[in-house]
A and B are shown apart, each in its own frame.
Chain A
C-alpha cells in the first residue's frame, strides 16, 4: 500500500537525487533496482554501482534518472516519504506494481496518469483508498480544486 501525501512541510520533502546519492547501500541495488533501471532508464545495472546507458555509456548509479532513484528509494528506505514528483508518467506502472507488494509513503503533488494500472493507495489527507486512476484523480482534484462531484 502506498500512502500518498499531496502536501508536506518543506522540511519533510526530500531531494530525491541528493538523498539517494548519500543514502543508498549495496542492498538497495537488488532485482527491483535492476528492473527499474532497465524499464525507466533503458539501461543495465552491470555491477555494484555501475550502469550501462545506451546514450551516456558506462555511468555510476549516482547518474541514473531522478525517477529511477525515487522508485528504488521507495522500495528500500521506509524511513522517508519518497518524493514521487521526481517520477515522470513513465514511472506510474512500477509505482503501481510496488504498491501491491510493499507499504511505503510518497509525496506526489502532480496528477500522475496511472492509466489502466491497478494499485493499493491510501490518500493521506482523507484516508480514502484508491485502486484505479479515476479514484486517484478524483481525490487529487478534490484536493487541488475543491471540486464537488
Chain B
C-alpha cells in the first residue's frame, strides 16, 4: 500500500523533524543519539497536553502508540500515523502485526529488530540525518535498479515465480518455499529474489489477482499454480516478448 504524508514536527526550542512517509510501514533505525527517542518524545508530548510547545504539521493526526491501549487504538481508530519507539514491547508479536495490518493507519517504527510479520519495504528503512537542530530521514539501503545473475539464486515463490526465473536462468534457481524462509536460504554468494516489500503478501496478492482477472478466459490466462507458457516464450508477430496488453487482449 503506497501513500504519502509530509510531516513537520518542531518545538519552541527549534528542534525540528521534517520528512515524508510513503507506505503503511516506515522503519527508523541507525546510530544511537541521532534523535529517534527525541522524535518519539516530542510526538508523545504533543499528544498528551494542549500547550506542549510541540507543533505537528501533517494532513492526518500523528500519535504516539503505547503498550497500554494499543489494541483499542488499532481496532477503533483509522486515518492516523502512529509512531512507536523501541521500548514498545509487542512490536514483534503476531498480535500487533495482525492488528496493524488490518487497521487503516500508517506506522513509524523505531526499531533495529527484524520484524518478520510486518510487510515493510527496504526502501522505507531510514536513518535520521541530523544537521544541528534539524532532522530528516535518509534511506539506509540504495535502490537496486538492475538485476545481476548469480551462480546461486533463490526465489520465495515455488510455483509460477519459480518457473519464471528457472526459464530465464535454469536450474540454478531454487525456491525457499515461502518468504519467511527466504533469508535463511543460500549462502554469501546467493541472490535472494523477494518482493520489494519484505513480506509482500498484499502486493503480490493484489498483482496476482489483477493479472488473473485481466487474462481470465483468454489463452494468456494467468494462474499462480502454473505459469502459462505465454509468459515465457515469444509468441506475438512482433517478435518481442508477449505484449498481450498492448494488443487489446488479442493473440494471434
Contact = CB atoms under 8 A, between A and B. Distances in A.
B184 A85 contact: no
A46 interface: no
Contacts of A145: 183-185
Contact of B86 (A41, A63, A64, A86): A86
Contact of A109 (B87, B113, B183): B113
B248 interface: no
A98 to B, nearest CB: 15
Given A66-B37, A145-B183, A87 B32 contact: yes
A27 to B, nearest CB: 23
A91 interface: yes
Interface stretch (A11-19, A74-82, A114-122): A11-19
B15 interface: yes
Contacts of B113: 85, 109-110
B184 A66 contact: no
Is chain B's interface secondary structure helix, strand, loop, or mixed overall? loop
**Interface extent on A, as a size class?**
20 to 34
Given A68-B32, A109-B114, A146 B184 contact: yes
A125 interface: no
Contacts, number: 77
The interface centre, meaning the residue of B86, B112, B130 with most chain A CB atoms within 10 A of its CB, is B112
B31 A66 contact: no
A31 interface: no
Interface in B89-104: 89, 93
Contacts of A149: 187
Nearest to A85: B112
Interface in A101-143: 109-110
A89 B31 contact: yes
Contacts of B35: 55
A140 B132 CA distance: 36
B15 A55 contact: yes
B112 A110 contact: yes
A107 to B, nearest CB: 10
B52 interface: no
A90 B87 contact: no
Given A57-B13, A110-B112, A13 B31 contact: no
Interface of B: 13, 15, 29-38, 41, 85-87, 89, 93, 111-114, 130, 132-133, 183-187
- In order of increasing CB-CB distance, the 4 nearest A-B pairs are A67-B32, A88-B31, A65-B33, A15-B87
28 contacts: A10-B93, A13-B89, A16-B87, A17-B37, A17-B87, A40-B32, A41-B33, A55-B132, A57-B13, A63-B37, A65-B32, A65-B33, A65-B37, A67-B31, A85-B111, A85-B113, A87-B32, A89-B30, A89-B31, A90-B31, A90-B32, A91-B32, A109-B113, A110-B112, A110-B114, A144-B183, A144-B184, A145-B183
